[in-house]
Structure 1
């Protein structure tokens, strides 16, 4: 209406003063049209597959969903839990999900070797949580002390980290027995050691057997691969780098909040998805992650959670070549990118020493 008045005034040759008044009213009082209003952008839907059922070792991701961190980064994230019958990595490869939580760096090397276009964009665990548990009476104090013991090792362990133990420390498979993720054979055999994760199996053994097992963390003896990496496809990186950056950044914030803040929202979501999880085990796992620097240590102290370096990747690759797990001509640098990490995101959330 006001625009029409101004147009009629112009056509009628109205005085300049009147035209100025009408123009001022038009500019200051006219209601905004639909085109004037900023568009309401919807959050980007993102799916993230884990490699096991919900547990504290995935806590930062669940925290970022539960406390709204992903939402603040413009993301609507659905976490797809893994498990014994779920292959979420295949869902990533086939384009059914956007990101995947890879267990270790060997998986990333293997993708390159098999021309699978997956790339690690962040390493949440700076230390692989793989350990060996021992009986107190065996008086094991270092990795080499395991050699005369019966070793309960899984099929995956034999074809993975145990080959490194053979090449770096001279272990053999003569004393190895199958580990079926049941601690009872270990508990019943005093002169034995059992594989596990520092965040869970020691707790389970102490509950079941009534003794506190000795724990040897392989990362403390040179097994320096990253663990719990965020993987995505190369095409996602090329087409949606901003989305990848937001997912990585928000996940990092989620992990800081889970380790150092109020992690009850994340734990509540974990227990909802995995009713077998207990508050006691969740608290134990978080304490062991912090105590052993699983998530926040080394390069993360300066570069932030999720940090990766070329030096670490090169070192681990050389060890895996010596162990016969990777071919020397594998272009391992294609397995990861530093583009989205080492930006000191979230450092202010770490408690001051």
Structure 2
């Protein structure tokens, strides 16, 4: 081997060692900032139990999948469909899915029963739950319920009775009957009012050319949130970073979905939603949902954050109705720290 060859080998060896050292330093630097693990590690899977079937009411979540937002945050979510034959809270409590969404009422009832779940965020800061009537036969205030037949879900019956009593009406003067998912009984004249969501059943009727009047329950003194995000307490405790990243990605996903309603409606109809969804109905629903999602703390702190004083009022309402018998505190039901942390970065 000549001295020239030796010099070449030494130089090449130096570059190899130096290059490896530089790469190692870069990897360590990225690792210190969390960038290396995010850039190369596989996304963390997480299962989320939906309260209802896959439709535009969950459009923000699926926009996050479609736009790669969850992937950017190192999350690989699976959104499990709910429906009339699914008990979402039981699925979360049993560990089938560690996170889920539900209207706040069933979550308060579950917590009252000792089920170890906790509210950590909400999509709809103000519930669109309303009494829907026909414009040609409107119900404009609670007192006009007297002598009427109103369809309501079994779970909503206690609240309806409370509202009727608070208005000074005899509960016997209002005929409460079980509701079906489709409000067509209102059009056929079988019922005078339908207790449901103006953004869902209300939109169903509007897209069929039916003119309606809505009486929002929140505005009547029955506050509620829906799309309320909750999880098993043990999972939340053991996976704080993952849950915060999920909420951060979800807030970003919902922001994108609300800002791009046409694209979000299209993707739900074509790729992510249940078969048979109507594009115009999906588009109308997400547009109608926007003010309810952006209400309250969402306007100042960020999407999905919690209004703890509001939840205190909701707990007190459920106590007055008789669905909460113990001394439940807001802190037992809610933990705002997850959504607050997600909103900060």
| TM-score tier after normalising by the smaller chain length | 0.7 to 0.9
Residue equivalent to 1:93: 93
Inter-partner Cα distance in structure 2 for 1:155 and 1:345: 36
TM-score normalised by length of structure 1: 0.81
2:59 matched to 1:59? yes
Asked if structure 2 preserves the Cα contact closer than 8 Å seen for 1:271 and 1:278, the reply is: no
Inter-partner Cα distance in structure 2 for 1:23 and 1:186: 82
Q: Which runs of 5+ in 1 are unaligned?
A: 1-19, 348-353
Residue equivalent to 1:28: 18
* CA distances 1:220-277 after superposition (whole Å, capped 9, x unpaired): 2222122111111111111110001011111111111111136525642454341111
The total of aligned residue pairs comes to: 324
Q: Secondary structure at the match of 2:328?
A: coil
* CA distances 1:142-200 after superposition (whole Å, capped 9, x unpaired): 333223322122222213x3143135334415422423314343223388111221112
Q: Secondary structure at the match of 1:317?
A: helix
Structure-to-structure mapping, 1:47-196, within 5 angstroms: 47-102=47-102, 104-159=103-158, 161-171=159-169, 172-181=171-180, 182-189=182-189, 192-196=192-196
Q: Give the direction of change, closer, same or farther, for the CA distance of 1:307–1:43 in structure 2 (3 Å limit).
A: same
Asked if structure 2 preserves the Cα contact closer than 8 Å seen for 1:125 and 1:294, the reply is: yes
Q: Give the direction of change, closer, same or farther, for the CA distance of 1:316–1:119 in structure 2 (3 Å limit).
A: same
Residue equivalent to 2:31: none
Inter-partner Cα distance in structure 2 for 1:199 and 1:126: 14
Query: Which structure has the bigger radius of gyration?
Result: 1
Asked if structure 2 preserves the Cα contact closer than 8 Å seen for 1:112 and 1:331, the reply is: no
Inter-partner Cα distance in structure 2 for 1:55 and 1:190: 27
Following superposition, the deviation at residue 87 of structure 1 comes to 2.7
Residue equivalent to 2:306: 308
Following superposition, the deviation at residue 25 of structure 1 comes to 5.2
2:319 matched to 1:327? no
> What is the RMSD computed on CA atoms of the aligned residues?
3.0
Q: Give the direction of change, closer, same or farther, for the CA distance of 1:233–1:142 in structure 2 (3 Å limit).
A: same
Inter-partner Cα distance in structure 1 for 2:19 and 2:126: 62
Inter-partner Cα distance in structure 2 for 1:265 and 1:158: 34
Inter-partner Cα distance in structure 2 for 1:342 and 1:173: 45
Q: Secondary structure at the match of 2:224?
A: coil
Asked if structure 1 preserves the Cα contact closer than 8 Å seen for 2:261 and 2:286, the reply is: no
* CA distances 1:69-104 after superposition (whole Å, capped 9, x unpaired): 1111100111111112223332211112121111x2
Q: Give the direction of change, closer, same or farther, for the CA distance of 1:155–1:51 in structure 2 (3 Å limit).
A: same
Q: Secondary structure at the match of 1:341?
A: helix
Q: Secondary structure at the match of 1:294?
A: helix
Q: Secondary structure at the match of 2:256?
A: helix
**Structure that is richer in helix per residue:** 2
Q: Give the direction of change, closer, same or farther, for the CA distance of 1:146–1:275 in structure 2 (3 Å limit).
A: same
Inter-partner Cα distance in structure 1 for 2:20 and 2:51: 56
Inter-partner Cα distance in structure 1 for 2:112 and 2:95: 20
Inter-partner Cα distance in structure 2 for 1:185 and 1:79: 31
TM-score normalised by length of structure 2: 0.83
Inter-partner Cα distance in structure 2 for 1:97 and 1:281: 29
Inter-partner Cα distance in structure 1 for 2:15 and 2:134: 86
Structure-to-structure mapping, 1:1-40, within 5 angstroms: 27-30=17-20, 40=40
Residue equivalent to 2:203: 203
Residue equivalent to 2:287: 287
Asked if structure 2 preserves the Cα contact closer than 8 Å seen for 1:136 and 1:214, the reply is: yes
Inter-partner Cα distance in structure 1 for 2:12 and 2:130: 79
Q: Secondary structure at the match of 1:245?
A: helix
Asked if structure 2 preserves the Cα contact closer than 8 Å seen for 1:135 and 1:190, the reply is: no
Residue equivalent to 1:240: 239
Q: Secondary structure at the match of 1:138?
A: coil
Inter-partner Cα distance in structure 2 for 1:119 and 1:340: 11
Q: Secondary structure at the match of 1:166?
A: helix
Following superposition, the deviation at residue 36 of structure 1 comes to 9.0
